[in-house]
Amino acid sequence: EGGAMVALNASEDEVQPHLTDRVSIAAVNGPASVVVAGDEDAVTAVIERFPDRKSKRLKVSHAFHSPLMDPMLDDFRQVAESLTYNPPQIPIAFGSDADYWVAHVRQPVRFLDTMRTLEAEGVQVFLELGPDAVLTAMGQDCADGTFIPTLRNGRPETETITTALARLHVTGVTPDWRAVLHGGRRVDLPTYAFQRRRYWPQGEMRPPSPDVTEVESRFWEAVEREDLQALVSALDVSGDDPLTAVLPALSSWRRQRREQSTVDAWRYKITWKPVTETRATPGRGPWLVVVPAGLATDERVLRTMEALGGRVVELDADATRDAVAARLLDAQIAGAESGETPVGVFSLLALDESPHPVHPALNRGLAATLTLVQALGDAGIGAPLWIATTGAVSIGGSDRVTSPAQAQVWGLGRVAGLEHPERWGGLVDLPETLDERAATRMAEVLGGADEDQVAIRPSGVFARRLVRAPQATPLDRQDDAGEARPYGTVLITGGTGALAGHAARWLAANGAEHIVLTSRRGAGAPGAAELERELAGLGVRVTVAGCDVTDKDALAGLLTEHTVTSVVHAAGLGHSGALESTTLGEFAEVLAAKAAGAAHLDELLGDTPVEAFVMFSSIAGIWGSGGGAAYAAANAYLDALAESRRGRGLAATALAWGPWAGGGMAAGENEEQLRRRGLATMRPDLAIGALAQAMRDGETALTIADVDWERFAPAFAAARPRPLLNELPEVRAALEGAAESEEVSSELMRRLAAVPEAERHQVLLDVVRMEAATVLGHPGVDVIGAGRAFREVGFDSLTAVELRNRLNAMTGLRLPATLVFDYPTPAALAAHLAGEIFPGATDAEAVHALEELDRLEAALSAVGPDDHDVRSTITTRLKALMSQWNAAPAVDGGDVAERLQTANADELLHFIDQELGMS
């Protein structure tokens, strides 16, 4: 008795100093949401410490999770121990026994920690079983994912549960629909989505001349149908037997040429372009030169940086993120006391390749570089970061990759440049010995040359470029090279995955005698039994083995048991998460599946000659992927390992794949998101054709992806130039169009400056809605309502970064990557942009009023069309509100207010839809 529980908008750290033995934290519901419980006067005293924060007294019978619960714990334990606890049929986080429930009564409910733990375990979908959507609302403040409530207060249960099942289904968690529907049968969906939007281009088109079109069309249609009589008529020849014999071959050739043309358009490779003139003067400091403690560093490198004003900062490779941030901050403050702030950060941490003591899949240099990138943000140091390596890349010829491990840092760095473009400098690979000329070149590169991925060699400076790698056609070949014919025993790691399955089928159909499929779960993996039967039906012997390729001893045992003639390394583990929130453990887990597995195969096979050593890499390692730093690092390692093996005279082919159709990591809703960004999925049979060509031609490193550069390039280069793509004509054309949009952005700023302050919010709202529609691939802004949440219309972490980059380019601001989550509706975001562009133009009360209107819009959008009583009540309240607003002496309500006061419910909601942009 005499207890109270109050919810407060504050963090646990803020509240903790004000607690006493009479009051405690009862729940941590979010980053800035706690519940305080205990004696009522003590709780009130805590709340009064936060007069500017919102608080709400909870209607409860007892002050749960507080000291007032202590007298009942023993009795409660007796009751709890009288129950029988059976093993759960599904995994339960944290426990369910008597001790757990006694602790639950007394200790805080750590909802925030629970959600983050589940998120770290890979949970993506959260289903709330309860009387309302309270936990769903809180959960979205704690973790990324899909949150689905089963019940809603005041709504029919049948409707809300059915809606929850439907949402589960479209997120990939398919319910047992036969149980839900008591039978039924499957039917095909309609072949179009009933949106009734014109798709065809409206611009003027110039078709070929009618005579050419008619003749070619008639000819090739007849060939593809293998219609002899039509072909005879089209060619005006007789239908002799030779024509009958050649027609099927001609039809096949036509189909193959079309497919070959498609595959040719997917093929790219990395080259290194000499930079003849850097057009930069050496960048004089001060610089923070970050070096690994205890590791010898090239003295000329340090002297060069000291000449630029460099200040050496030694970091222990095992230092925590907080410790590194504090060390960097101290170094910056020391410089600031002398009136200097850093102009750049130059990291040599990657040179430390010794294994990490806690996460052996990482080396110390990679782990320290990840921590450095995160700590720079924590310390608020915005100076551009340059990361140096040695032997991580090959510019071709006799220049070899000597350190594939350091190439991992290049993959990490490319993602850092995407997620934090405002504080990114670039990547530079140094020669093993830095002579005076190379030192001068290094200084010039750091001084601001227009390149961010360079290699400095005795012969000059070279910049990394992506170029097309066309495939010679059979008619163009002058040699006797035939199709690749695998033989003997082929080992496929990750062998039960979708991509590996396609490769196994091709190998089985083209000469392999024995295929060994490995995965962590082996025969217990989903689809393993079906794949084994299918391959056996093709006449090949199949072994499905449970083997974790990150376990070197287990892999060695497998290779001892099976003498392999070829290897296809397709194992991999995906991960999506911002670089700043990725832990070392998460990074190591993703890295191990690809990089550690490939390293073990390379080491265990040694100089054993194999016909092929194929590694399935990814475009994430070629140009980076927002939210995938660990995955990019792992794939960059595979590309470098292929170069290293070739340099040692061994077989190696690394294929950096774009997304495949029909399975893999791009399956499901990811496929649509990638398409919006300009990355289409590839037909598996054509991708396998590209694999066969690469093996036949002895390619070392090849990128195979179906990219719509007109869509991809402007978003990719929105935040800063990306010289990697400068050699592709389609990219140059796309970026020229983007340059025209920059003129539009200048016009936007002029327009904002010219309009009255009251109109700026609407102008920016129109911009936000249009840019959001463009990012999601919608032809118009209809689905982007002003009060509709960004998450609701399809935004995720990747598209959020893309929208941030576009708005940065439009406004000249430096906005955070979490923009659409911090300001969850277009209206809220537009209000924030107005405050950033015109600081101080709107007083705090007005900003607060606008935010409240945003919340009102979002709430009204949730009112269903059949809730007539609710809509009538809302209409009456809004009319009264408008009447008060119109009566205010400083406001000119005009015709709008008069219309609202005389409107009925339907007219008012129509006004809200048309004038306020609400759904």
Q: Which of 190-194, 606-610, 743-747, 844-848 has the lowest mean pLDDT?
A: 844-848
Check pLDDT > 50 for residue 892: no
Rounded to the nearest 5°, which phi and psi values hold at 812? 80, 10
* 334-362: burial string, b at 16+ Cβ within 10 Å, e else: ebeeeeeebbbbbbbbbbbeeebeebebb
What percentage of the chain has pLDDT greater than the value 70?
80
Check pLDDT > 90 for residue 803: no
Which pLDDT value is given to residue 243? 59
Check pLDDT > 80 for residue 232: no
Which pLDDT value is given to residue 210? 42
**Which two three-digit tokens encode residue 764?**
């920016």
The predicted-structure confidence for 853-890, as pLDDT tens digits, reads as follows 656 766 676 676 667 777 777 877 777 777 666 665 44
The residue-averaged pLDDT of 613-642 equals 94
pLDDT band at 657 (very low <50, low <70, confident <90, very high): very high
Check pLDDT > 70 for residue 91: yes
Which pLDDT value is given to residue 894? 44
Spatial separation of the C-alpha atoms in residues 711 and 679, rounded to whole Å: 9
The candidate with the shortest Cα–Cα distance to 259, out of 682, 597, 585, is: 682
Q: Which of 74-83, 168-177, 635-644, 696-705 has the lowest mean pLDDT?
A: 168-177
Spatial separation of the C-alpha atoms in residues 419 and 626, rounded to whole Å: 6
The residue-averaged pLDDT of 706-733 equals 88
> C-alpha distances in angstroms, 156 versus 122, 151, 162, 425?
32, 8, 10, 56
Strands 460-468 and 453-457, sheet pairing: antiparallel
**Which two three-digit tokens encode residue 603?**
């080491």
The predicted-structure confidence for 216-225, as pLDDT tens digits, reads as follows 666 666 666 7
Which pLDDT value is given to residue 119? 87
Spatial separation of the C-alpha atoms in residues 279 and 450, rounded to whole Å: 8
Q: What angle do CA 93, 168, 574 make, to 5 degrees?
A: 65
pTM for this predicted structure: 0.62
- Could you write out the DSSP letters of every residue in 456-474? EETTEEEEEEEEE-PPPPT
Spatial separation of the C-alpha atoms in residues 388 and 106, rounded to whole Å: 53
For 580-586, the CB contacts below 8 A with 24+ separation are: 580/373, 580/374, 580/377, 580/419, 582/370, 582/629, 582/630, 583/120, 584/356, 584/358, 584/359, 584/362, 584/367, 584/370, 584/371, 585/359, 586/120, 586/630
Q: What angle do CA 483, 486, 488 make, to 5 degrees?
A: 155
Query: What mean pLDDT, rounded, does the chain reach?
Result: 82
* Cβ(531)–Cβ(504) below 8 Å: yes
* Cβ(877)–Cβ(847) below 8 Å: no
Spatial separation of the C-alpha atoms in residues 657 and 672, rounded to whole Å: 17
The predicted-structure confidence for 681-697, as pLDDT tens digits, reads as follows 999 999 999 999 998 88
The single-letter code of the amino acid at 486 is: P
Which pLDDT value is given to residue 843? 46
Output 630 or 120, whichever has higher pLDDT. Answer: 630
Spatial separation of the C-alpha atoms in residues 24 and 109, rounded to whole Å: 12
pLDDT band at 431 (very low <50, low <70, confident <90, very high): very high
* Cβ(508)–Cβ(492) below 8 Å: no
**Unique residue bearing structure tokens 């649509």:** 672
Check pLDDT > 70 for residue 290: yes
Which pLDDT value is given to residue 141? 80
Output 807 or 78, whichever has higher pLDDT. Answer: 78
The residue-averaged pLDDT of 821-841 equals 82
Q: Cis omega before residue 286 (within 30°)?
A: yes
The residue-averaged pLDDT of 745-757 equals 74
Check pLDDT > 70 for residue 390: yes
* Cβ(520)–Cβ(493) below 8 Å: no
pLDDT band at 206 (very low <50, low <70, confident <90, very high): very low
Which pLDDT value is given to residue 491? 96
Which pLDDT value is given to residue 814? 75
pLDDT band at 482 (very low <50, low <70, confident <90, very high): very low
* Cβ(909)–Cβ(871) below 8 Å: yes
Which pLDDT value is given to residue 557? 94
* Cβ(285)–Cβ(477) below 8 Å: no
Rounded to the nearest 5°, which phi and psi values hold at 54? -75, 140
Q: Which of 426-430, 532-536, 705-709, 732-736 has the lowest mean pLDDT?
A: 732-736
- Torsion angle of the four alpha carbons 655, 660, 662, 664, in this order, in degrees rounded to the nearest 10: 70
Check pLDDT > 50 for residue 358: yes
Which pLDDT value is given to residue 363? 94
**Which two three-digit tokens encode residue 128?**
């709330």
> C-alpha distances in angstroms, 25 versus 2, 22, 29, 65, 575?
17, 11, 11, 8, 34
Rounded to the nearest 5°, which phi and psi values hold at 313? -125, 110
User: Strand pairing partners for 465?
Assistant: 271
Output 181 or 234, whichever has higher pLDDT. Answer: 181
The predicted-structure confidence for 457-471, as pLDDT tens digits, reads as follows 988 999 999 999 977
pLDDT band at 228 (very low <50, low <70, confident <90, very high): low
3-state secondary structure of 812: coil
Which pLDDT value is given to residue 475? 42
The predicted-structure confidence for 605-614, as pLDDT tens digits, reads as follows 988 889 999 9
**Which two three-digit tokens encode residue 52?**
């500017």
Q: What share of the chain is helix, strand, coil (3-state, %, to 5)?
A: 50, 15, 35
Output 707 or 299, whichever has higher pLDDT. Answer: 707
